[in-house]
């Protein structure tokens, strides 16, 4: 078997997220499985580095799959994009060692969350940013973000109430930048729980508008309860940007 | 009468252009007239700095209108945006001298045309750039662009075959920059004929792929015929960025 690693970009607006849910779903994974299988004339099951929620975007999702026939990767990228819908693009394709798996081999991931915090809504980022009109105190958000770093049990930031596996993760960086009215929060870590980036963003936004103390971050982590954290920011502002191996 | 100047941003995707066409139209001007009139409880006729074609965007369209009652401009901007659709925003509003007219008083305009010339289509700019896959030679386009500058009869670049008024305009700058696979052409001049920026862009693209000589620019101008120029680039890449007074 040959093993391949694809880097993928998608506009998640009209999809029910990454993860395939059946034969009649409308997911990125389902679409890729269907079109890559047809193109290669071989049943392909694409494994993503992780799920992205309904409506979440990707600039650098990674997926791997095994096939019997060897593929001309350069030609594959050119041709597969002519069959894919315009909101999904394969950016890159490489042959990899047979032990490589997009999810299991991932060492770190970077997500970016874009908040449109300008005085007036930016009409051109309606689908690629969360519009939040109240002025955010970015310095306070930065201080709070530092308290969320480290190796912790992040179950308070998990949207799945029935999550049973280990919820310990290492978040190595939360960088908050400002650009023309946008506040961009870049999260890097070895992995993130379901909805974790969106719930952390909602919590940091609550800090930014003074609804929550900077110091309460450690309390939220210690509470080990979803109720302790803030609201879940909507999907349209979130981008999976990079997966490192 | 009081006279006001508004700066407006819009995503032109779902509109039939700026210019009002009747009572059942779907234009930016029609939408503004309707909502501003209702808000001020006074019939308002908003005059734009110029038309934008169906599907063209604006980051800095300017419109002026006269009313009987004086307006609290700061409050107006805040409140009118709550009534306007999310793809139209009033960015700024000022009381101006009664002789001011958004079109007649304009001294110069800047349009930007965005071409997605990256190796792989950018899924996030499908509606805000023209996807053109063949690699453009930007240096050749820059040389050609310089030959289009000056005070000239630009009728060869006019999309309206029945245009009767003076087609002499002064184009002071055509700046071509590159950013992450995008080629951005910024046009500045005292005014532009109908479709002129899109036809100039199509012509420069033909230069960029070697279909047309750099030197032929002067011939196109001298021909005074639409047939001499290149194709008309589509509307989704075009933004009216600034009007100076």
Tens digit of each residue's pLDDT (9 = 90 or more) over A228-240: 999 999 999 999 9
Instruction: List CB contacts (< 8 A) between A76 and chain B.
Output: none
- A182 and A239 fall within a common domain: yes
What CATH number did the domain enclosing B228 receive?
3.30.70.660
**Predicted confidence band at B189 (pLDDT cuts at 50, 70, 90)?**
very high
Answer yes or no: is A133 within a domain. yes
Confidence of residue B44 (pLDDT cuts 50, 70, 90): very high
Catalytic residue among B53, B72, B87, B179: B53
Pair (A141, A116) in one structural domain: yes
If asked whether residues B145 and B237 sit together in one domain, one would say yes
Q: What does the pLDDT look like over B69-112, one tens digit per residue?
A: 999 999 999 999 999 999 999 999 999 999 999 999 999 999 99
Same domain for A194 and A139: yes
DSSP, residue by residue, B32-63 = HHHHHHHHHTS---PEESS---TT-EEEEEEE
pLDDT at residue number A22: 73
Determine whether A24 is exposed, middle or buried from the number of CB atoms within 10 Å of its CB (0-12, 13-18, 19+).
Answer: exposed
Note whether residue B21 is domain-resident. yes
Residue at a domain's end among B96, B118, B153:
B96
- For position B23, what pLDDT does the model report? 67
Together in a domain, A46 and A19 = yes
Domain for residue B163, yes or no? yes
- Would the pLDDT of A34 be above 80? yes
For residue B24, what pLDDT band results from cuts at 50, 70 and 90?
low
pLDDT range class, residue A192, cuts 50, 70, 90: very high
Helices and strands in chain B: count of H runs, count of E runs: 5, 10
Q: Does residue B77 share a domain with residue B176?
A: no
Contact A113, A198 (CB under 8 A): yes
Residue B44 lies in a domain: yes
B135 and B233 together in one domain: yes
User: Is residue A103 in a domain?
Assistant: no
Mean pLDDT of B3-24: 92
Q: Under an 8 Å CB criterion, which residues of A touch B?
A: 9-11, 57, 77, 81, 86-91, 120-124, 126, 128
Average pLDDT over residues B59-65: 98
State whether B58 and B144 are in the same domain: no
Catalytic residue among A53, A153, A179, A227: A53
- Whether residue A23 is predicted with pLDDT greater than 80 in this model: the reply is no
Q: What is d(CA A222, CA B43) in angstroms, rounded to the nearest whole number? A: 60
B200: enclosing H helix or E strand: helix B196-208
A contacts of B88 (beta carbons < 8 Å): 123
Q: What's the rounded Cα separation, in Å, for the pair A40 and B67?
A: 66
Query: Bigger pLDDT: A91 or B24?
Result: A91
| End residue of a domain, out of A62, A96, A130 | A96
What is the ipTM metric for this complex?
0.93
Q: Give the per-residue pLDDT at A21.
A: 81
| Residue of A74, A81, A124 to mutate for B, most B C-beta atoms under 10 A | A124
Burial class (CB in 10 A: 0-12, 13-18, 19+), A78: middle
Residue A8 domain flag: yes
Same domain, B229 and B149: yes
Say which CATH number the domain at A8 has: 3.30.70.580
Place of tokens 């999810």: A103
Judged against a pLDDT cut of 70, whether residue B63 lies above it is answered with yes
Which among A229, A107, A95 has a CA at the least distance from the CA of A161?
A: A229
Taking CA atoms, what residue in A is nearest to B9?
Answer: A123
Domain co-membership, B9 together with B51: yes
- Record: contact A77-B121, CB cut-off 8 A: no
Residue A73 falls inside a structural domain? yes
- What is the count of structural domains for chain A? 2
Is B53 one of the annotated active-site residues of the chain?
Answer: yes
Per-residue pLDDT tens over the stretch B109-149: 999 999 999 999 999 999 999 999 999 999 999 999 999 99
Is B102 within a domain? no
Same domain, B125 and B11: no
Interface contacts (A, B; CB < 8 Å): 46
The pLDDT of residue A24 is: 66
Q: For residue B21, name the pLDDT band (cuts at 50, 70, 90).
A: confident
> What is the pLDDT confidence band of residue A182, given thresholds at 50, 70 and 90?
very high
Helix, strand, or coil here: B74? helix
Is residue B177 within 8 Å of B112, Cβ to Cβ?
no
Please provide the average confidence, as pLDDT, over all residues in chain A.
97
pLDDT digits (tens, 9 = 90+) for B145-165: 999 999 999 999 999 999 999
Cβ <8 Å between B120 and A91 = yes
Same domain, A45 and A85: yes
Residue of chain B minimizing CA distance to A92: B120
Domain boundary among A96, A128, A153: A96
- Full residue range of the structural domain in which residue A60 is found: 2-96
Smallest CA–CA distance, residue B91 to chain A, in Å, is 7
Per-residue pLDDT averaged across B188-209, rounded? Answer: 98
- Predicted confidence (pLDDT) at residue A25 exceeds the cutoff of 90: no
CB distance B11–A87 less than 8 Å? no
């Amino acid at each position: 078997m040959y093993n391949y690693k694809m880097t993928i970009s998608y506009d998640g607006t009209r999809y029910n997220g990454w993860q395939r849910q059946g034969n009649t779903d409308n997911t990125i994974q389902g679409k890729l499985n269907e079109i890559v299988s047809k193109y290669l004339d071989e049943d392909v099951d694409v494994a993503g580095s992780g799920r992205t929620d309904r409506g979440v975007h990707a600039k650098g999702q990674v997926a791997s799959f095994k096939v019997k026939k060897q593929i001309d990767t350069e030609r594959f990228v050119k041709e597969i994009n002519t069959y894919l819908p315009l909101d999904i693009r394969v950016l890159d394709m490489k042959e990899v060692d047979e032990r490589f798996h997009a999810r299991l081999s991932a060492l770190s991931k970077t997500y970016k969350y874009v908040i449109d915090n300008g005085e007036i809504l930016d009409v051109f980022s309606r689908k690629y940013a969360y519009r939040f009109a109240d002025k955010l105190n970015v310095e306070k958000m930065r201080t709070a973000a530092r308290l969320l770093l480290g190796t912790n049990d992040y179950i308070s930031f998990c949207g799945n109430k029935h999550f049973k596996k280990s919820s310990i993760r290492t978040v190595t960086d939360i960088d908050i930048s400002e650009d023309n009215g946008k506040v961009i929060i870049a999260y890097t870590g070895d992995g993130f729980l379901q909805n974790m980036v969106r719930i952390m963003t909602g919590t940091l936004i609550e800090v930014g508008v003074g609804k929550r103390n900077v110091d309460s971050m450690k309390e939220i982590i210690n509470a080990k309860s979803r109720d302790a954290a803030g609201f879940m920011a909507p999907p349209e502002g979130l981008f999976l940007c990079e997966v490192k191996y």
